[in-house]
Chain A
Amino acid sequence: MISETFKILEVNLTTGQSGPRDRDGAALYLGGSGLAARLHLDLARPDLAWDDPTQPLIFAIGPLTGYFPLMSKTVCAFTSPVHGQYAESHAGGRGALAMRFAGYDALVITGRAERPVVLHLGENRIDIIEAGYLWGQDALASGKLLRRMLKGSGHRTIMRIGPAGENKSAMACVNVDTYRHFGRLGGGAVMGAKNLKAIAIEGEGARELPAGKSYAALFRDIFRQVTDTDMMRKYHNLGTAANLDALNDLKALPWRNLQATSDPGITGITGQRFADDTLLRNAACSGCPVGCIHIGFVREKFQADNQYFYRQVPYDYEPIFATGSMLGLTHAPDVLSVMDEIEKAGLDVMSGGVALAWATEALEKGVVTPEQVGLGLRFGQARGYMEAVHLLAAGKTEFWRLLAQGTMTAARHYGGEDFACVLGQEMAGYATGEVFYVAQSLGLRHSHLDTGAYSYDQSNAPKDVAKALAFLLEDERERVIQTSMVACLFARKVYGLDSLRACLNVLGGATLADGLEQAGGRIQKLRWRARLAGGFDPMRASIPKRFLEVTTWKGQTDPVYLENLRQAYATAIRDMGRADAEKA
């Protein structure tokens, strides 16, 4: 049932003191993105470094989490090692329902443990367990050890970091329940800086439901929409991997560090190819019947006499772009092999793949030497990338240490900024045109999900700055309502405003339902305010030369349109982020 107040669990790893507290404002901030931004503004210190022990690591769910299908995501917020500013990352898995059943709308972790620890939480449980023996274990091995350490299975979440997080790489992700991730902007490094190897949350409790039949009937109606119609077919059929040949056809798929936008090699890495040759099975986030998680397998002969092992690797569009086309790999099992190493290292796959693509071109062009890199990297050759992933996570030499802090950090040091595919951080897989380049370079999550700019480009809309800007602002405002709930964005057609209001009302959340649209506008501004508080200057965002060289089905990038839209969007962001704008 929906409360007017948030219940927040605060854990201080320095003092070992923890406890729940109530915070008002559920109608103002809804949950998820809104709650995370609000808590970050309340607690983070913009004058201190991202890895200062006092900086908070925040996990937040929404008012409908667990109560309805596909309300299955968690928002993670922190001060990013990429830019020292507010950052948001989202993940599925079991985390959201585990938090619901543990009884918390948000978890806030501050402080730094003296030695590596595991945080074990539940409705009646806050244990900080010393676990120095896990430090250095990769993310998959850590998961297995944690399952042995903490008895029980299936009804909890296990979030952990790999070596990349321990080494405070700006590309370190948090691996969630084996197959999901808080990927972007370095949340894994924030855990590493806190000496926090893992968080396990037991979903032991039960929550009250409304009396009467309305809730069960509404649940059934929404469940039927997502399971009995074609609405979700794309996601459980080929999954997002279906985008690969569609974008390749549009000349919008980045190849070999975005030196091309289309390639005949696509036939080896299409969604259909992955399904036909590698798809082992599907899996789902808790509370979602769609099952969009595609788990591929690759087997490898490691010895004579037919001695094989196999890897199970979750794939999606973005990981295939980042470790496939971007690295010139055109054989699906090769792509999965690189992805698997990235999983173990605990790296964000998009950031890691794009960084390795830059390193390869930098080697080709002589910007860096083989001695500096320490191994050979060639587009299309998987073995080198499988080794390079671990160098990137370990960051032991100067080259890998710099690259681990971001591709542009390395490019500024060695040269090669022009061909660094960085839009705020390493690009997402959409070379679709000007609106996307601008949106990602300025976007808050620096993925592609705050707006559907990529689809605006693909709709062949006219080059009209005012129209594109209006789209970006409106689409973001709609999406922050979803990400404050926190609905999976695949379900955004199911959860229109009327549907969300009905869901909130049936659970006693009439106040939230009545103010839903106003909350969307408020949260949109609040998030930018949180970002600007850390020193973000949208006017200074830049778009590397490589993006001006890109040719899509619409032709070459239009530099005038790009620059005009960039300035217009930056101005709008600056205005939205003013402290007084949020109250207006």
Chain B
Amino acid sequence: MKHLKAPRMERCIGCHSCSLACARIVHKCLSWETAGIRIQSSGGMSSGFLAKVCLACDPAPCAAACPTGSLKARIGGGVTQNKKLCIQCGKCVAACPVDAIAQDRQGHVFVCIHCGACVDFCPHDCLELVEVDG
């Protein structure tokens, strides 16, 4: 079981290469928003950056809130996503305690699936895909 972690965000330069990589590789689009990891400045550029990313909750409140089983709890934390089942109700977005799930204006839901596609594109090694017991 692998989890994406963002343990060294103090190194982040705000280049967004990670979230652009997620959008490009995982979701096949060019976007800041429609990605499983999103980088924000924490009160302007002078205050550094934070990563809005799934913390691999176990149990996962988003999966519990999902009425269709589109999001299913992974063993060991986090969720898997079946986009075909999603009715775009947004309950998962509301249930996420750390605002890590994005929903675009068409209603599509974007959540980190801990694949690690973003890790390769961080120039400062802020991100890590780590093996955890599960």
- B-binding residues in A (CB < 8 A): 66-67, 69, 97, 100-101, 124, 143-144, 147, 153-155, 177-179, 203-209, 215-216, 219, 223, 227, 281-291, 293, 295, 312
Chain A nearest CB, measured from B35 CB (Å): 9
- Tell me the B13-37 residues at the A interface (CB within 8 Å): 13-17, 20, 23-25, 28-34
- Cα distance A473–B38 in the bound complex, in angstroms: 43
Chain B nearest CB, measured from A179 CB (Å): 6
Q: Is B105's beta carbon under 8 Å from chain A?
A: yes
Closest chain B residue to A100, Cβ basis: B30
* Known A209-B29, A283-B13: A312·B121 in contact at CB below 8 Å: no
Inter-chain contacts of B104 with A (CB < 8 A): 206
- Cα distance A69–B48 in the bound complex, in angstroms: 21
* Among A204, A227, A291, contact of B33 (Cβ-Cβ < 8 Å): A204
- Cα distance A385–B90 in the bound complex, in angstroms: 55
Whether B30 contacts A155 by the Cβ 8 Å rule is no
* Known A216-B24, A223-B121, A289-B123: A97·B32 in contact at CB below 8 Å: yes
- Cα distance A458–B41 in the bound complex, in angstroms: 40
* Known A124-B105, A206-B23: A286·B31 in contact at CB below 8 Å: no
Inter-chain contacts of B32 with A (CB < 8 A): 97, 101, 154-155, 203-204, 286
- A-binding residues in B (CB < 8 A): 13-17, 20, 23-25, 28-34, 38-46, 48-49, 104-105, 121, 123-124
Known: A153-B40, A289-B15. 13 other contacts (CB 8 A): A153-B42, A155-B33, A155-B40, A178-B44, A204-B33, A204-B105, A205-B31, A209-B24, A209-B28, A216-B25, A219-B24, A284-B14, A293-B13
* Known A216-B24, A283-B45, A287-B17: A154·B38 in contact at CB below 8 Å: yes
- Cα distance A286–B31 in the bound complex, in angstroms: 12
Whether A286 contacts B33 by the Cβ 8 Å rule is no
* Among B40, B46, B49, B121, contact of A289 (Cβ-Cβ < 8 Å): B121
Inter-chain contacts of B123 with A (CB < 8 A): 227, 289-291
Inter-chain contacts of B48 with A (CB < 8 A): 281
- Cα distance A153–B46 in the bound complex, in angstroms: 13
Inter-chain contacts of B28 with A (CB < 8 A): 209
Whether A286 contacts B30 by the Cβ 8 Å rule is no
* Known A205-B31, A207-B30: A284·B13 in contact at CB below 8 Å: yes
Closest chain B residue to A288, Cβ basis: B15
Whether B16 contacts A287 by the Cβ 8 Å rule is yes
* Among A223, A286, A290, contact of B14 (Cβ-Cβ < 8 Å): A286
- Cα distance A566–B72 in the bound complex, in angstroms: 71
Closest chain B residue to A311, Cβ basis: B46
Whether B46 contacts A178 by the Cβ 8 Å rule is yes
Chain A nearest CB, measured from B122 CB (Å): 8
- Cα distance A312–B31 in the bound complex, in angstroms: 30
Chain A nearest CB, measured from B38 CB (Å): 7
Q: Which of B16, B24, B34 gathers the greatest number of chain A CB atoms within 10 Å?
A: B16
* Known A178-B46, A206-B104, A289-B17: A154·B30 in contact at CB below 8 Å: no
- Cα distance A321–B103 in the bound complex, in angstroms: 47
Return 18 A-B CB contacts under 8 Å, by A number. A153-B40, A154-B39, A154-B40, A178-B46, A206-B23, A206-B29, A206-B30, A209-B29, A216-B24, A216-B25, A219-B24, A283-B13, A284-B14, A285-B15, A286-B32, A287-B17, A289-B123, A295-B46
* Among B13, B14, B25, B29, contact of A207 (Cβ-Cβ < 8 Å): B29
Chain A nearest CB, measured from B6 CB (Å): 14
Chain A nearest CB, measured from B73 CB (Å): 27
* Known A143-B44, A154-B38, A155-B40: A67·B15 in contact at CB below 8 Å: no
* Among A178, A207, A216, A291, contact of B31 (Cβ-Cβ < 8 Å): A207
- Cα distance A143–B46 in the bound complex, in angstroms: 11
Inter-chain contacts of A178 with B (CB < 8 A): 44-46
Q: Which of B20, B24, B32 gathers the greatest number of chain A CB atoms within 10 Å?
A: B32
Inter-chain contacts of A154 with B (CB < 8 A): 14, 32, 38-41, 49
Whether B30 contacts A179 by the Cβ 8 Å rule is no
Q: Which of B23, B31, B45 gathers the greatest number of chain A CB atoms within 10 Å?
A: B45
Closest chain A residue to B45, Cβ basis: A178
- Cα distance A483–B44 in the bound complex, in angstroms: 28
* Known A67-B30, A97-B32, A207-B29: A291·B44 in contact at CB below 8 Å: no
Q: Which of A147, A288, A290 gathers the greatest number of chain B CB atoms within 10 Å?
A: A288
* Among B13, B34, B41, contact of A206 (Cβ-Cβ < 8 Å): B34
Inter-chain contacts of A208 with B (CB < 8 A): 29-30
Closest chain B residue to A66, Cβ basis: B30
Whether A179 contacts B45 by the Cβ 8 Å rule is yes
Inter-chain contacts of B33 with A (CB < 8 A): 101, 155, 203-206
Whether B46 contacts A284 by the Cβ 8 Å rule is no
Inter-chain contacts of B13 with A (CB < 8 A): 281-284, 289, 291, 293
Chain A nearest CB, measured from B112 CB (Å): 17
Closest chain B residue to A203, Cβ basis: B32
Chain B nearest CB, measured from A94 CB (Å): 9
- Cα distance A291–B14 in the bound complex, in angstroms: 8
Inter-chain contacts of B30 with A (CB < 8 A): 66-67, 100-101, 206-209
- Cα distance A144–B44 in the bound complex, in angstroms: 7
- Cα distance A446–B48 in the bound complex, in angstroms: 33
- Cα distance A289–B39 in the bound complex, in angstroms: 14
7 closest A-B pairs by CB: A154-B40, A206-B31, A284-B15, A291-B13, A289-B123, A284-B13, A207-B30
Chain A nearest CB, measured from B53 CB (Å): 13
- Cα distance A19–B42 in the bound complex, in angstroms: 33
Inter-chain contacts of A69 with B (CB < 8 A): 17
* Among B16, B20, B23, B44, contact of A147 (Cβ-Cβ < 8 Å): B44
- Cα distance A287–B32 in the bound complex, in angstroms: 10
Closest chain A residue to B49, Cβ basis: A154
Closest chain A residue to B124, Cβ basis: A291
Whether A286 contacts B16 by the Cβ 8 Å rule is yes
Chain A nearest CB, measured from B25 CB (Å): 6
Closest chain B residue to A211, Cβ basis: B28
Closest chain B residue to A227, Cβ basis: B123
Chain B nearest CB, measured from A336 CB (Å): 14
- Cα distance A101–B34 in the bound complex, in angstroms: 11
Chain B nearest CB, measured from A51 CB (Å): 31
Inter-chain contacts of B42 with A (CB < 8 A): 153
Chain A nearest CB, measured from B72 CB (Å): 25
Chain B nearest CB, measured from A538 CB (Å): 39
Inter-chain contacts of B34 with A (CB < 8 A): 206
